[in-house]
Structure 1
């Protein structure tokens, strides 16, 4: 009997126990056993159970529209499998009767999906039902997983996540077939993967008021519906909503949280918005309307009762929404928490605030506090309070922040890594603040994003990653990279990240354009690494550096235009939005600033070319506005009118700088316009002669930091060396002059991994004793501000030589996190 039972089980598994296989291919030609998504003028019918979550139906309908865009055929959508049809069956385990029926029969690989976070499977099933020959089944472990599976099929079919948000229209096909097999995707590397819509005053808010939510003239449900669909297409799940004074609070419009519920978006609030409250509107402007009385001071030690009530009401309102609650307290907006003057007393008050917030959450949601997702973001001054030894319940996720410019200030130390709540990251792709904004163009490279976030992942920051994306546009490519990385951190590790834009361009514009556009984007990031367009008025370049920079940008514009001429007409709008506008606008900003400076120098030297160069600066300035008018008024038939502002906050860098005039030429005293210093000898860090890295491998990472690459300890070992004997090192050869030579080692402007660590290298010239340099700067300091603007931190040493010739330079990397970009000798 035992043998017979075993044989029956084996036969059952042979028939029904489907095992996951490699990813399906989608082709335009049928192969044996493949599933016809559409062919011969007919599309497969989409089937989902109405008892399933609303987001499943939303995804199915969006997929039907995607099929129409590709094929011109609108697929039918039904809720029961009908005899004789070829169906795409979409549903969630445990929530879809159709999926559960297939699971019960063993027709789908349930074990590979069940109980996992946001995991999905795409599988072709033969004879799923007696009167159906075959079906393509998309099922998820939870409703978001199902939606991700549907949109993954869209991506595979050639529909970009930016099909609406950047007008990336798909290529027309006459037929598409899905190959056989079952492929499981998930769970994601990071549990909560989100965006923060921020500083929306000059783009998203005026655009939404004009085009999307015209009844309320604000960012409302119609806008958020498009945001939420984009998030699902990017496999994102978490939102910090727009919250500037120009925008009413997310919860002010009931349709906003209702829409989030339908799309299964997890709601949150930024570092200064505890328990989902938007203080800048709800406390400062709407409190009297909501409560019939004026608000007292936003100060917990003297106004606890009113503040607690304010928090309790929002927690109660949020009970039916998925949420991750920010705990703690800052000022009304982006400022320090009011209260005691003493840091110790302020820390104690913050501990009280959090204890009371957890009680509010527990009572309001009928759960124990430890079962409610919460984050604490030690942002800016809050980090200093946390460092004083603040007591924080261990189930709260520590959301570490970058310095607003892409470099993470601090990560969890070995003890913090043991916290049950884990840690996460708040990371900027856009920023308003000191030392200077970058709200206009998005220029943080995939290599830097990957290096910082993979490092964070290594130190257990795996619970939550949220990205400040400003108005979403124009950070499309960078946001997609960030979300792809958050979904699968192994896919785009730092050593691979430089290849991402080529792959992205091929998927967005076609395989034939991948290499060209990938190169354009790499150069765009490389040039911005030593001076963002918004920072140029605060950076000094030598004449040689400025000339090379202008030549490189102009060559980049030439390549962008040449490639643009070949792009198909139906993708021209997308190309302008995603490639041409940022490249040409960045070039024009460099021309405006650098030509203006050059014109003044030439005028001072009495050179009549000054006026011609001044005209070039003015033409560049005019072209920025012209390009922006094109973006707002002409692209996609005016769809984006109001989304792009070429001078957000009207910062000085956006104004036309002073240029040479005929009067200056007449009054010149013929001062030399040349550089006063000899150009340095520059040795890229990648050009080492030899290396010693048995204990800690050293790797060249392309696109990381200024120049073309950075040299880093990678894979990162978490070992610091107290001396140089065991440390990894690289050797260089360099020319020196007789007398004193200054040696500058330019490095990534980063921070030590966590409290107690440093960021040191050591340098030895011609066998002399190594000199140790710590290149770390504290955020918000003068040296940090200088580093951020010019794009690097540097250590300097001197070497006295009694003759001209070549010397050996050995550089030891003593701490993890040090990235060397170049060695310069003056």
Structure 2
């Protein structure tokens, strides 16, 4: 927004010029100061390959400095110091020693510790060698400084001081990043570039506090990946996901600056607390233990209220129902609080069914609300017994699925409990805090999905929610006060590595990757993961992968029917994607080939081949009546696509890293129909292994066929919403273009999301965009495709006003919150559509003005159909 435009808008709002001048000076000064502050906070220590005056020798002539920690410090500090030591060994071949006293003399040291828990850090503070005032008593922060003569006999040290144990851990892992070690060094075999010399230039870094206080992952639907892999390769003694697996998970979380786990909880996996060393490992790594939206009070009901109950209590359980079996359920919860009271833990309040289902109890909504309120009161009485006051226990309430209806129906939740809002399971947030809820002392948080098992269809094979979509929704959440808790469903962790890191990077700094910048993230990630030489090409591949998945996830291809034009376009685009992947692979160093396969090649080719499988199968049936030879050709291509998916999956499990990942990936999670061979014109060419899969629970699968019109069709004029000719913005707001968002490749939206919501009678005051297109006289349809999002909260709508050639406005409600057939179509095909008829009475220029009455509305594509 330029200065004149700002003045104009202020005048329209009846501000006088004196007020305008003072406001503008204040605004610009605030922005300038904020930018300076951000630059200072984002400053990082730099490295050099050659020695310079005052530089700290991190790697020099085949030697590395030892790491000094205090044995009395948190165990996480020692564990991370050992991990950093191993990282340095990967880079230079020399593993630094770790010691806890000063008997060993060295000229150069890495000194790491927590303020108030490390005598070495406290001595440096006392001697004024380091200044920790900027992080004192703050949450998970650290300083990193080069210090001359820190201790008698030591020339120089690289000092990491943390405000708490996780702050120290995060600071130590910054050393790994400085030497080029990826957080995915173990989980995706991203091998660092060898270095013979590396110096840290003199300086001082002060980390920021995280944007979101509790940040973590939910391991879910682990039956077909993480569980069989862990049983076979990690926790082989118990043949389950146990402490050895979780130790690797917890280390990864610290590398990603996360601090919380919702453990795996499916039927295939015994409860997290069943193995005593699991919570011990979490505490050692300073990870907060939580439990899912359906597993209250740190219990894991699918195991613990059934098999586990008999082992724990030596008898069979009664009904998991509070109104008729209160004493038994209460004791079940209290026993877990007693076991967990000395761990850093977070408790989910309320009650749902044993699995991911509604509460068993009264039939009426009013009865259920009264029961859940009584349950919460009783749960908090347990906290009072063990923690002195309920507020001393970390507590969340998650209005997920049917629980949202109870909450919006009047269910009261104590003010200090964190409300955890959810997405609709497909990446679009259902609701955020309104004005009153934003004042709650417990604040709010988010439970988000990168993977999902359930209707209308799973997407647990590949991970395809783009950074642009994640940023759009999570920035919205943060701006409406969701800053206490973010957890993301990552399925088996693999192959959602990039998307998981992006989510957690946003949780650490929610203002760094705003929607306007989010599409640039992949380049930044690729640069740090594979090197600057490959970053541009990898970003092109991944962003193309995300864009194609926006209008049809690989797992959903069995639900979608594309017209011939779009089908041809997608086949061409995926062929191009495979060619890019293969060409780039020839340039990737051998040491990074396995990482490249896991992070880039497998998901890209998997998605492409899934599209080919369905398209060629459909084409074979269409050709069967007219050209049997062509039908056979298409049938063979469909068969080949599935065989290649199976071959790629075999390579992932058996051939990379000497079988390290054996069992982690299956090409057919839950043996769903979509992963098998679709009907083809020549089924006799199929081998037995490619025929129909085992039966599955069909209640999760709702058949949906969606037609998507191709933009090269002769009777369609397509506009990208970003191609507007004019626009009007309002005070402190702008209309942004979000690359990589929506089926059109770009979407427009109002920003920030906290802007005013305009009612229909106020539409003329709303921001607008205007398009001009030459049309002939006649009747047309205007198709407006927007991201299938929900209204932000109950104080807002999700509306547009459309004015064609200055005719009376047509008002559109784009809210996609109702779980019905239209919702299903929208989330599967990637857009919500409204079609408006209009008439052109004079050949020539037609003006289409669209008023964006609400924030959170992302317009993705405009089609004019004759």
* Candidates 452, 470, 476, aligned match of 2:497: 476
* Candidates 816, 830, 833, aligned match of 1:777: 816
* Candidates 200, 210, 233, aligned match of 2:222: 200
* Cα distance change on mapping 1:508 and 1:21 into 2, 3 Å: closer
Matched, 1:169 2:191: yes
CA RMSD between the two structures: 1.7
3-state SS, counterpart of residue 711 of structure 1: strand
Structure 1 counterpart of 2:30: none
Structure 1 counterpart of 2:736: 699
* Cα separation, 1, equivalents of 2:159 and 2:59: 15
Matched, 1:680 2:680: no
Structure 2 counterpart of 1:359: 381
* Cα separation, 2, equivalents of 1:44 and 1:663: 67
Structure 1 counterpart of 2:481: 460
* Cα separation, 1, equivalents of 2:776 and 2:410: 52
Following TM superposition, by how much is the alpha carbon of 1:84 offset from its aligned partner in structure 2, in angstroms?
3.8
* Candidates 454, 470, 482, aligned match of 1:433: 454
Matched, 1:86 2:112: no
Structure 1 counterpart of 2:856: 817
Following TM superposition, by how much is the alpha carbon of 1:603 offset from its aligned partner in structure 2, in angstroms?
2.0
3-state SS, counterpart of residue 681 of structure 2: coil
Structure 2 counterpart of 1:570: 591
Structure 1 counterpart of 2:538: 517
Structure 2 counterpart of 1:72: 93
* Cα separation, 1, equivalents of 2:681 and 2:751: 49
Matched, 1:720 2:747: no
Following TM superposition, by how much is the alpha carbon of 1:800 offset from its aligned partner in structure 2, in angstroms?
2.1
Residues 709-742 of structure 1: CA deviation (Å, up to 9, x unaligned) = 1100022343111232111111112344543211
Following TM superposition, by how much is the alpha carbon of 1:256 offset from its aligned partner in structure 2, in angstroms?
0.3
Matched, 1:305 2:327: yes
> Is 1:35–1:136's contact at 8 Å kept on the other side of the alignment?
yes
Report matched runs for 1:608-627 at 5 Å: 608-627=629-648
Structure 2 counterpart of 1:765: 804
Structure 2 counterpart of 1:106: 128
Matched, 1:708 2:729: no
Following TM superposition, by how much is the alpha carbon of 1:678 offset from its aligned partner in structure 2, in angstroms?
5.0
3-state SS, counterpart of residue 762 of structure 1: strand
Following TM superposition, by how much is the alpha carbon of 1:820 offset from its aligned partner in structure 2, in angstroms?
0.4
3-state SS, counterpart of residue 58 of structure 2: strand
Following TM superposition, by how much is the alpha carbon of 1:608 offset from its aligned partner in structure 2, in angstroms?
3.7
* Cα separation, 1, equivalents of 2:363 and 2:185: 52
* Cα distance change on mapping 1:97 and 1:21 into 2, 3 Å: farther
Following TM superposition, by how much is the alpha carbon of 1:30 offset from its aligned partner in structure 2, in angstroms?
1.6
> Is 1:429–1:469's contact at 8 Å kept on the other side of the alignment?
yes
Where does structure 1 lack aligned partners over 5 or more consecutive residues? 1-18, 665-673
Matched, 1:295 2:317: yes
* Cα separation, 2, equivalents of 1:511 and 1:77: 32
Report matched runs for 1:389-408 at 5 Å: 389-408=410-429
Structure 1 counterpart of 2:119: 97
Structure 1 counterpart of 2:10: none
Following TM superposition, by how much is the alpha carbon of 1:802 offset from its aligned partner in structure 2, in angstroms?
4.3
Report matched runs for 1:143-292 at 5 Å: 143-292=165-314
Following TM superposition, by how much is the alpha carbon of 1:132 offset from its aligned partner in structure 2, in angstroms?
1.2
* Cα separation, 2, equivalents of 1:677 and 1:683: 13
Following TM superposition, by how much is the alpha carbon of 1:155 offset from its aligned partner in structure 2, in angstroms?
1.2
> Is 2:764–2:851's contact at 8 Å kept on the other side of the alignment?
no
3-state SS, counterpart of residue 196 of structure 2: coil
Residues 290-335 of structure 1: CA deviation (Å, up to 9, x unaligned) = 1122211111000000001000110010012101111110000100
Structure 1 counterpart of 2:54: 33
> Is 1:213–1:220's contact at 8 Å kept on the other side of the alignment?
yes
Residues 636-690 of structure 1: CA deviation (Å, up to 9, x unaligned) = 11100100010101111111111223999xxxxxxxxx99985522111111111
* Cα distance change on mapping 1:776 and 1:359 into 2, 3 Å: same
Report matched runs for 1:448-597 at 5 Å: 448-597=469-618
* Cα separation, 2, equivalents of 1:37 and 1:820: 50
> Is 1:119–1:185's contact at 8 Å kept on the other side of the alignment?
yes
> Is 1:534–1:654's contact at 8 Å kept on the other side of the alignment?
yes
> Is 1:21–1:182's contact at 8 Å kept on the other side of the alignment?
no
* Structure 1, 427-436 or 726-735: larger mean CA deviation: 726-735
* Cα separation, 1, equivalents of 2:184 and 2:755: 39
Following TM superposition, by how much is the alpha carbon of 1:765 offset from its aligned partner in structure 2, in angstroms?
1.2
* Cα separation, 2, equivalents of 1:743 and 1:727: 21
> Is 1:20–1:109's contact at 8 Å kept on the other side of the alignment?
no
3-state SS, counterpart of residue 409 of structure 1: coil
* Cα separation, 2, equivalents of 1:563 and 1:663: 37
* Cα distance change on mapping 1:75 and 1:644 into 2, 3 Å: same
Structure 1 counterpart of 2:367: 345
* Cα distance change on mapping 1:604 and 1:678 into 2, 3 Å: farther
> Is 2:725–2:771's contact at 8 Å kept on the other side of the alignment?
yes
Structure 1 counterpart of 2:35: none
* Candidates 139, 142, 149, aligned match of 1:120: 142
* Structure 1, 169-178 or 729-738: larger mean CA deviation: 729-738
* Cα separation, 2, equivalents of 1:679 and 1:197: 47
* Structure 1, 122-131 or 221-230: larger mean CA deviation: 122-131
Where does structure 2 lack aligned partners over 5 or more consecutive residues? 1-39, 686-708
Structure 1 counterpart of 2:792: 753
Residues 162-194 of structure 1: CA deviation (Å, up to 9, x unaligned) = 000000000000011111111011210000001
* Cα separation, 2, equivalents of 1:662 and 1:22: 62
3-state SS, counterpart of residue 764 of structure 2: coil
* Structure 1, 112-121 or 793-802: larger mean CA deviation: 793-802
* Cα distance change on mapping 1:740 and 1:281 into 2, 3 Å: same
* Cα separation, 2, equivalents of 1:293 and 1:222: 30
Structure 2 counterpart of 1:8: none
Structure 2 counterpart of 1:13: none
* Cα distance change on mapping 1:559 and 1:281 into 2, 3 Å: same
> Is 1:403–1:779's contact at 8 Å kept on the other side of the alignment?
no
Residues 19-59 of structure 1: CA deviation (Å, up to 9, x unaligned) = 99942102221222010012011110111010000000001
> Is 1:710–1:819's contact at 8 Å kept on the other side of the alignment?
yes
* Candidates 434, 437, 446, aligned match of 1:413: 434
* Cα distance change on mapping 1:48 and 1:708 into 2, 3 Å: same
* Cα separation, 2, equivalents of 1:181 and 1:63: 20
* Cα separation, 1, equivalents of 2:218 and 2:408: 26
Report matched runs for 1:590-669 at 5 Å: 590-606=611-627, 608-661=629-682
Following TM superposition, by how much is the alpha carbon of 1:566 offset from its aligned partner in structure 2, in angstroms?
0.2
Following TM superposition, by how much is the alpha carbon of 1:130 offset from its aligned partner in structure 2, in angstroms?
2.4
Residues 344-379 of structure 1: CA deviation (Å, up to 9, x unaligned) = 110010000001001112212x33111211000000
> Is 2:610–2:641's contact at 8 Å kept on the other side of the alignment?
yes
Report matched runs for 1:794-813 at 5 Å: 794-802=833-841, 805-813=844-852
* Candidates 793, 804, 810, aligned match of 2:832: 793
- The number of equivalent residue pairs is 798
Q: TM-score, normalised by structure 2?
A: 0.90
